[in-house]
Structure 1
Amino acid sequence: MTEQSEHEVPAVDELAARSLGLPGAVNARDLGGYRTADGRVLRVGVALRSDGLNRLTEADHAAFAELGVRHVVDLRSLDEVREAGPDRVPGLPVADITSVEYAAEPLSVTAPDGGVTLHHLPVYAAGFDIYVALRQALADRDPVKQRELLGDGRAAEMMTGLYRWFVTDPVARSRFATVLRLLAAPENPPVLFHCTAGKDRTGWTAALLLTALGVDRSAVFEDYLLTNVRSGALIDTILDSFHTRGLMQEPALLLPLFRADAAYLEAAFAEVAAGWPSFEEFWRAGLGLDDAVLDGLRANLLGDD
C-alpha cells in the first residue's frame, strides 16, 4: 500500500462543507469539526486556512466579510507577493513589505476602521525555493533541461527537503510559532492563515495546530490531502495551459510541486521525531511555545461535542 492510499481523502460533500465559499480562493476552508482524542471538537469559524487572497474579487468580498476574520497571516515570500499581488482583503491597505522578509518580527497593518489586521510573515527557504524552480522550468522551454531539473524524482526530493527545512530551520520554526501564538490570543480569532497554494506552509501550520490539540494523525493527513480535491481542477487547468502555450512538453513533471503528497508531511513529522523525543518537547524546545499557548489554543478552538 502506498503512503498516498493510506490517508484517504474525504468525500466531496464533506469537502463542500469545509469550504469558505470564496471562488477567488479555491483552497480556503475551515479547520472546524475535527475531533480530538479526548472527544472535543474544533469550533467552526475560528481557525481558517487558505491559498492566496490576491485573487479575491468583488464577488468574494461579501462572503469574506461574513467570516468575521480579525487577523490574516500571509506566509508568502516577498517575491511571491510582488509577482502575484498583495492580499485583496476588503478595506485593508496595501503594506510596504520590502523590509520584512528577513525581519525578526512580522509586519502588521490594521484596516483604518480598526477591523481586520494583516500580518506579513514570510516563510522563505533560499535552498528550497519552489517558485524559483518553477520559473526556471518555464523560462527555459527546453524539455531536456526541464526533465533534468524536475524528472526522475527530483521535484519530489525538492519538496521533501522543503518540509524537512520547515522543522530544522530556526527562523521557519519561529514563524510557524508566531501563527500559533496569534491563534492562541483570546482576542484574536477568527484567524485566517495562508501561503500561495494553501498547501505547504499552510499545510504544515495546520498540521502543527491539529497535532497540538490532540487530533488523530489520520485526520491531520486527511486535512492536508484535501488540497488535492479543492485545487485539482485549477491545477489541471494550469498544467494544460503550460502545454498549449508551448512552455512544457511534459507539464506533469510539475505535479510533485503542485500536489499535496502524504510523503512530504511524513518527512516533516519524521524530522520532528529525529530531533526531539516527542512532539511535546518539539513544542517547547523546537517552537519555543509553552503551556500557556496550548491552553489558549484549547480555549479558543475547542468546544464540546
Structure 2
Amino acid sequence: MTEQPPMAAAELAARSLGLAGAVNARDLGGYRTADGRVLRGGVALRSDGLNRLTEADLELLLGLGLRHVVDLRSLDEVREAGPDRVPGLPVADVSAVELSAEPVRLDSPDPDGITLHHLPIFAADFDIYVALRDALADRDPVRQHQLLGDGKAAAIMTGLYRWFVTDPVARERFAAVLRLLAAPDGPPVLFHCTAGKDRTGWTAALLLTALGVDREAVIEDYLLTNIRSAAIIERIVDSFGTRGLMSDPSLLLPLFRADLAYLDAAFAEVEAGWPSFDAFWQAGLGLDDTVLSGLRKNLLVEG
C-alpha cells in the first residue's frame, strides 16, 4: 500500500516547512493523542536532507528557532550528496562532522545557535544506495531485473525496516533522537535522513506512537512522503530512463516510495520481540518513564 489517506489541501500545505531545497521538510505538530492532547507546532520537525538548501531556505530555517538538527545519514550518503547546510555553522565544520562514521556533536559558537548531531544509521545488508549503485553500474537490464525485480527491491526495504528494530546500534541511535526531544533544552528539533522517508519515518512513528497518537495517524504521517516527494521521484525515475541508465526505471520505485508494508514490517518486528510497545520502549530502546514524561511535557498541549 502506497496510497495516501485523504487529507485536506490546507492541512498538507500547513505541515510543510516551505523549504525549496528540502521538499519533505514538515511539522509533526497537530496530531491528536488518545487522551485528547495535541502535538505542539514547531517543536518536532522531520525532513529530507538539508544539503540542498537555498539562501532563502536558510533564512526560513533560522526563523524556526531550532536548537538541534539531527542527521541520520551514513558516511557514504554525506560524501555523495554533501553535508547539511546549517545556519551559523561553517560548511567546513559541518562537513568534518558529517564525514564521521561515529556519532558526533557540533555546537554553534553562538550559545543560542543550532547544534548539529550526526547519528549515522546504516545497514550494510539492506543498503538501498548500494543496491542502486549496483543496478546502475553496467546498465544491463537483465542484471538490473535480477537485482531489483520480482519483489527484490521491496524485500530490501522490508528487511531494512525489520533491521531498524532488531539491530541494537540502530535502536540506540533512534533512542538518542527521542532523548533529545525529551530533554529540557531539546526542542525545537529537526531530524532527517536523505529522503526523509525511512529512518526519519521510523523515528516519527516511534515518537507519535509513544505519545499515544493512533496508528491511522501514524500511517498518514508516514505516507505523506509520497505526496511531498512525488515530483522529485518522478523526475529521478524519468531521468534514469532518458539517460539510458535503465530500460525499466520503475524497478526503482519500491526504493523511492513509502509503503505501508515497510512500516508494518517494523511494527511486526516489535510485536515479535516484545510483549508490548511499552516493553519495547523500555527494553528495546532503553528508554524510561522520565523520557516519556519529557516528551509529553515538551511536545503536548491540551486539545
The answer to whether TM tops 0.5 is yes
Q: Aligned AA for 1:51?
A: D
Decide whether aligned partners of structure 1 residues 43 and 198 sit closer, same or farther in structure 2, where only a CA change above 3 A counts: same
- Matches of 2:173 and 2:216 in 1, distance apart? 25
- Cα contact 1:163–1:268 (8 A) shared by 2: yes
Q: Aligned AA for 1:67?
A: L
- Matches of 1:275 and 1:21 in 2, distance apart? 39
Aligned twin of 2:274: 276
1:41 Cα deviation from its structure 2 partner: 0.2
Q: Where in structure 2 are the equivalents of 1:88-237 lying within 5 Å?
A: 88-93=85-90, 94-95=93-94, 96-97=96-97, 100-101=100-101, 103=102, 106-114=103-111, 115-237=113-235
- Cα contact 2:97–2:105 (8 A) shared by 1: no
1:10 Cα deviation from its structure 2 partner: 2.2
TM-score, normalisation: structure 2: 0.96
Decide whether aligned partners of structure 1 residues 162 and 21 sit closer, same or farther in structure 2, where only a CA change above 3 A counts: same
Q: Which of 48, 58, 73 is the equivalent residue of 1:51?
A: 48
- Matches of 1:145 and 1:4 in 2, distance apart? 26
Q: Secondary structure at the match of 1:303?
A: strand
Q: Aligned AA for 2:67?
A: R
- Matches of 2:6 and 2:170 in 1, distance apart? 28
Q: Aligned AA for 1:169?
A: D
- Cα contact 2:2–2:258 (8 A) shared by 1: no
Aligned twin of 1:246: 244
Aligned twin of 1:68: 65
- Cα contact 2:78–2:98 (8 A) shared by 1: no
- Matches of 2:98 and 2:302 in 1, distance apart? 44
1:90 Cα deviation from its structure 2 partner: 1.6
- Matches of 1:9 and 1:291 in 2, distance apart? 35
Q: Secondary structure at the match of 1:54?
A: coil
- Cα contact 1:78–1:97 (8 A) shared by 2: no
Q: Which of 33, 38, 41 is the equivalent residue of 1:36?
A: 33
1:188 Cα deviation from its structure 2 partner: 1.4
1:100 Cα deviation from its structure 2 partner: 3.7
Are 2:25 and 1:25 equivalent residues in the alignment? no
Q: Secondary structure at the match of 2:86?
A: coil
1:4 Cα deviation from its structure 2 partner: 4.3
1:138 Cα deviation from its structure 2 partner: 1.6
Q: Secondary structure at the match of 1:55?
A: coil
Unaligned runs of 5+ in 2: none
- Matches of 1:12 and 1:139 in 2, distance apart? 40
Q: Aligned AA for 1:21?
A: G
How large is the RMSD of aligned CA atoms in angstroms?
Answer: 1.2
Q: Which of 283, 292, 298 is the equivalent residue of 1:285?
A: 283
- Matches of 1:82 and 1:188 in 2, distance apart? 28
TM-score, normalisation: structure 1: 0.96
- Cα contact 1:97–1:120 (8 A) shared by 2: yes
Q: Aligned AA for 2:202?
A: W
- Matches of 2:2 and 2:129 in 1, distance apart? 24
Deviations 1:213-249 (A, max 9, x none): 0000000000000000000011001111111111111
What percentage of aligned pairs have identical amino acids? 76
- Matches of 1:178 and 1:250 in 2, distance apart? 39
1:71 Cα deviation from its structure 2 partner: 0.1
Deviations 1:10-59 (A, max 9, x none): 23322111000101000000000000000000000000000000010112
Q: Aligned AA for 1:214?
A: G
